[in-house]
Amino acid sequence: MEVKEVKLVAHHVFVVLLAASVRTQVNPEMCRYPLGMTGGQIQDEDISASSQYSESTAARFGRLDFDNGDGDGAWCPGVTSEADGLKDFLQVDLRSLHFITLVGTQGRHADGMGNEFAQRYRIQYSRGGSDWVDWRDRKGRQVIEGNRNAYEAVLKDLEPPLIARFVRFMPVTDHSMIVCMRVELYGCEWLDGLTSYSIPDGHQMIYRGRDVYFNDSVYDGASAERLTQGLGQLTDGTWGLDDFLHSQIYGMWPGYDYVGWNNRSFPKGYVEMIFEFDHVRNFTSMKVYCNNMYSRGVRLFRQATCYFRSGPDWEADPVVFRPGADHVSQAARFVTVPLGDRTASSIKCRFHFGDLWMLLSELAFQSGSAVYNTSRNKGHPTSLLPGYDPTHKLDDSNTRILIGCLVAVIAILLAIIVIILWRQVWQKMLEKASRRMLDDELTARLADQTRAFSFHHSSLSSEEGSASTSTYERIFPLCADYQEPSRLIRKLPEFAQSAEPVEKPEAACSDNAPHYAEADIISLQESSESSTCPVTAVNISLFAGTDSSLKEFPRNKLTFKEKLGEGQFGEVHLCEAEDMQDFLNEDLCIEGNNMSPLLVAVKTLREDANKNARNDFLKEIRIMSRLRDPNIVRLLAVCVDSDPLCMITEYMENGDLNQFLCNLRLRQAAEDRTEWEEKEERSMVCDRKLIGMAAQIASGMKYLSSLNFVHRDLATRNCLVGKNYTIKIADFGMSRNLYRGDYYRIQGRAVLPIRWMSWESILLGKFTMASDVWAFGVTLWEILTLCKEQPYSQLSDEQVIENTGEFFRDQGKQVYLPKPPYCPDKVYSDLMLSCWRRNAKQRPSFQDIHTQLVESLA
Ligand code: ADP
């Protein structure tokens, strides 16, 4: 997730949670406590009626669910209700202002003796006791459907809720019917103490051809130019949605939840509101629920300036508050305006426009330590009430808000941590699954292999131990065959989160992208006998792990002839080696070459090479010294007593196979080639000389695999061509011994021959004999195309890695190298393609490959 996205989400969550925390003003869903008709908290003297049928049906008997007494089971009016029912009422004085959300009614049952009930009724209410307001629902209807029988209590939500001290129940009946009622009121004490607000009536917006009304549709005071002496939508406990076109309440018109004003109608740039309270209070804050849909020209108020009055005049020094514009979230929210503990019975606030429109949905005041529903309402809430919680207290103090904010921040942080952890777990599972596959395939096979080398581990380990912390990167010739794959692998979705290469092998195992380093491989496989003694050119312990027949050749007996090429360590020279044949013991003697001086290739370590390069050079010497095979280039002697370090190998007259085949192709194309050359080339293809060359490579690789030896860089460029198309595998700079029966996991950063590498070598950093088989398939392809082009030449490096990803996913989208023109069908389908099987276990062994190639030559 982008940081920006996280911030935005965090902001939204914060706003929502903040809103939830401040939802403790008056929450109609929670504010549903029985106010004491049933429970008795409302005293008899506070229950009155317009009339009573008899003393036994007096007002005080009009308590819901209250049958035991000396009465006849309900309040019944004295005279038959008039048609409009206006005259009869049962009145309850709650002694203070209450927020009433629910009413309940019941008829007179009297243990089966009574059967009178009110089918319909109306509600009137008053805050002061003198002015009475008819309650209306949001659609303006006054009549409430009441009871159907004499015993069942029927509860009705008041939508909108009302704020009052006095409430009247007024049965609506016809002449013939006698009604009796028992009632209950539900709600909570109105701690705001607000008795009325005075505001300019809301405006109408035309939004995309739709009428949007922002009037205060449930205002219960007087309506003239301003709305006065009443309460309405700003105190109805319902808060608007972010999108003001939609309403919390089903079926209402666009803009219903908000009271709003257009800036253009207010030359002074603000809307003035006056709030009257029941008595002088000490105000801590005011919360204003505002819309902030700035994309439609609606914003939070820019500034609130509030004046206070306890007596006849407004005090001079107002409280000024600027909330700061929010350009990030369009969420509607409560804005808390601190009122600085000012004392007043009236407050006048000027809300300055932040944009063209200002929309408010709710207002609440905190004064002193207001706690909802704990004061006089000691009644037991009925179990019929939804959301009942007897221990519930709504605390409006700032501490609650602070706790809400902290909870919000913690929730966001936890959410982010969970997301991060989830992603990591997912990636590890993916990696484990793929690695397990390979492990199953390869570990068993490799573990069974016999040890072929008998060199001393301790001396080896000392060298590798010293190199394991190396950051040395092999210096490859500037050749497009080698790439640094880690960078490219991260573009694959499965490996996108991979971390930077790490130093520790364990860490490398748990990371997605493989890490490739050159200097620390054997340290993973060798025993812990390692010492930290670094290897130097004069450190003769080097030879503890080399073939004992390999000797130091006198440097002065080498005569430079020509430069053959340049490799990763330095230059390769053709030299005459005087008395070489005598120097070599029988084992190393080059058959059929009795020339003296003998022509040899001398690979020299460049003088400016660092310690790690030197260690690698010595490592290659050690590896090559133990290899004896007609198809492996032979190391004859070394010059390591002094710098520059040299290794002397047999000379291969025709250079490397890649160049050799390229030249052949060029000569083919040339017009002036001789007849002999033409014949030669034709025969080469026809006589399947190319296959013969491949068979020799397979033979050399068969030998290496018998030693559990992984070459890791098999390609035509690393094979040398001698006389009579003799092919020998060279360049063991990247190769490692696998005699421990494990695979290599390489780490660090290095350039690698990605076009020759198996998918598991690239993606998982695993080099095995099976991955050498993969590389052999590519080498065979090179040979049969006469090295005309690089493998996958039409693909960029990124695409090669993507293709590797396809091999990994195995959904049939991977691209294979095409069949070369000279390649027999059988060789392509039975051999080449089998080298690139996804499952390493299903790839042929070099033994199989060699057999197949030899058979195809027969
Ligand atoms: P690298 O290490 O980059 O694979 P090398 O150092 O082995 O390369 O060799 C560089 C070049 O020198 C080879 O490409 C090849 O042309 C030439 N070369 C190396 N060894 C021999 C050899 N024994 N006989 C003939 N040419 C050689």
Yes or no: say if 32 and 186 are a contact pair by the CB < 8 Å rule. Answer: yes
CB 38 within 8 A of CB 63: yes
Residue 699 pLDDT greater than 50, yes or no? yes
Asked if residue 231 and residue 138 are part of one domain, the reply reads: no
Q: Are residues 161 and 61 in the same domain?
A: yes
- SS3 for 782-822 is HHHCCCCCCCCCCCCHHHHHHHHHHHHHCCCCCCCCCCCCC
Choice among 88, 713, 731, 772 that is catalytic: 713
Per-residue model confidence (pLDDT) at position 353: 95
683: pLDDT confidence band, cut at 50, 70 and 90? Answer: low
What pLDDT score does 257 carry? 92
Within a domain: residue 284?
Answer: yes
Q: What is the DSSP string of 663-689?
A: HHHHHHH-TT--HHHHHHHHHHHHTTH
**Are 77 and 210 found together in one domain?**
no
Is pLDDT of 20 > 80?
Answer: no
Q: Which residue has its alpha carbon closest to ligand 1 atom 26?
A: 655
- Contacts (Cβ under 8 Å, ≥6 apart) of 39: 378, 379, 380
Out of 133, 154, 189, pick the residue that ends a domain: 189
- Signed CA dihedral, 303, 309, 313, 316: sign only: negative
Query: Is residue 518 one of the residues assigned to a domain?
Result: no
**Nearest atom of ligand 1 to the alpha carbon of 650:** 23
DSSP code string of 725-775:
G-EEE---SS-EE-TTS--EE--S---B-GGGS-HHHHHH-EE-HHHHHHH
Cβ of 518 closer than 6 Å to ligand 1, yes or no, is no
98 Cβ neighbours under 8 A, 6+ residues apart? 35, 163, 164, 165, 185, 187, 188, 189, 190
Of 397, 432, 463, the domain-final residue: 397
Please say whether the beta carbons of 716 and 658 come within 8 A: yes
SS3 264: helix
Q: Tell me the CB-side half-sphere exposure of residue 565, using CA atoms within 13 A.
A: 17
Q: What is the CATH number of the domain that holds 572?
A: 3.30.200.20
Mean pLDDT of the chain: 78
Separation of 564 CA from ligand 1 center, angstroms? Answer: 7
Q: Is 631 in the pocket of ligand 1 (CB under 6 A)?
A: no
Domain identity same for 54 and 198? no
What gap in Å lies between CA 447 and CA 468, rounded to an integer?
Answer: 24
Regarding the beta carbon of 564 and ligand 1, being less than 6 Å apart is answered yes
Query: Same domain, yes or no, for 336 and 202?
Result: yes
Distance 195 CA to ligand 1 centre (A): 98
Q: What is the CATH number of the domain that holds 301?
A: 2.60.120.1190
Tens digits of per-residue pLDDT, 598-629?
899 999 998 888 887 888 888 888 888 888 89
Q: How far is it, in rounded angstroms, from Cα 570 to Cα 67? A: 109
Q: 106-144 pLDDT, tens per residue?
A: 998 887 788 889 999 999 999 999 999 999 998 889 999
**pLDDT (0 to 100) of residue 82:** 52
Q: Is residue 634 part of a domain?
A: yes
Residue 81 has pLDDT above 70, yes or no: no
Say whether the peptide bond before residue 597 is cis (omega within 30 degrees of 0): yes
**From the CB of 470, is ligand 1 less than 6 Å away?**
no
Same domain, 627 and 596: yes
Per the annotation, the verdict on 825 as an active-site residue is: no
Instruction: Report yes or no on 529 lying in a domain.
Output: no
Tell me if 318 CB under 6 Å of ligand 1: no
pTM of the model as a whole: 0.45
pLDDT value for 689: 84
Mean predicted confidence (pLDDT) in 352-368: 92
User: What is the arithmetic mean of pLDDT over 569-595?
Assistant: 75
Instruction: Note whether 622 and 454 are within 8 A (CB).
Output: no
Of the residues 189, 216, 235, the one at which a domain ends: 189
Spatial CB neighbours of 194, under 8 Å, sequence gap ≥ 6: 163, 231, 235, 275, 276, 277, 278, 363, 365
Same-domain pairing of 344 and 202: yes
Q: Cβ-count burial of 654 within 10 angstroms (0-12 exposed, 13-18 middle, 19+ buried)?
A: middle
Residues 216 and 172 in one domain: no
Q: Which is nearest to 410 in space by CA: 3, 2, 10, 19? A: 10
pLDDT digits (tens, 9 = 90+) for 94-107: 999 999 999 999 99
Residue type, 779: T
* 227 pLDDT higher than 60: yes
pLDDT value at position 837?
95
Q: Are 464 and 792 in contact (CB under 8 A)?
A: no
Of residues 751, 797, 750, 757, the one with CA closest to residue 773:
757
> Which ligand 1 atom lies nearest to the CA of residue 477?
3
Whether residue 851 lies inside any domain: the answer is no
Residue 83 lies in a domain: yes
Q: Evaluate if residue 697 carries a pLDDT over 50.
A: yes
Lowest-confidence pick of 167-171, 378-382, 497-501, 722-726 = 378-382
Cis peptide, bond prior to residue 818, ω within 30 of zero: no
Q: Does a structural domain hold residue 406?
A: no
The response to whether residue 718 sits with its C-beta less than 6 Å from ligand 1 reads yes
Does the CB atom of residue 658 touch ligand 1 within 6 A? no
When pLDDT is averaged across residues 694-708 and rounded to a whole number, the result is 94
| Residues 287 and 337 sit within 8 Å (Cβ to Cβ) | yes
Q: Give the closest residue (by CA) to ligand 1 atom 27.
A: 655
Share of the chain above pLDDT 70, in %: 72
Q: What's the pLDDT tens digit per position in 204-224?
A: 999 888 889 999 999 999 988
Give the CATH number of the domain where residue 166 resides: 2.60.120.260
**Residue 681 placed within a domain:** no
Indicate whether 170 and 222 sit together in one domain. no
Flag whether pLDDT at 476 surpasses 70.
no
**SS3 (DSSP) at 203:** coil
Co-location of 177 and 270 in the same domain:
no
pLDDT bucket at 306, cuts 50 / 70 / 90: very high
Number of domains in the chain: 3
Range of the domain at 565: 545-651
pLDDT at 379 > cutoff 50: no
Distance 457 CA to ligand 1 centre (A): 29
Same domain, 107 and 210: no
The 10s digit of each residue's pLDDT in 635-646 is: 999 998 888 899
What element of type H or E holds 475? none
Query: Are 640 and 552 found together in one domain?
Result: yes
User: Which one has a higher pLDDT value, 543 or 122?
Assistant: 122
Instruction: Please give the share of the chain, as a percent, with pLDDT higher than 90.
Output: 43
> Rounded to an integer, what is the distance from CA 842 to the centroid of its chain?
37
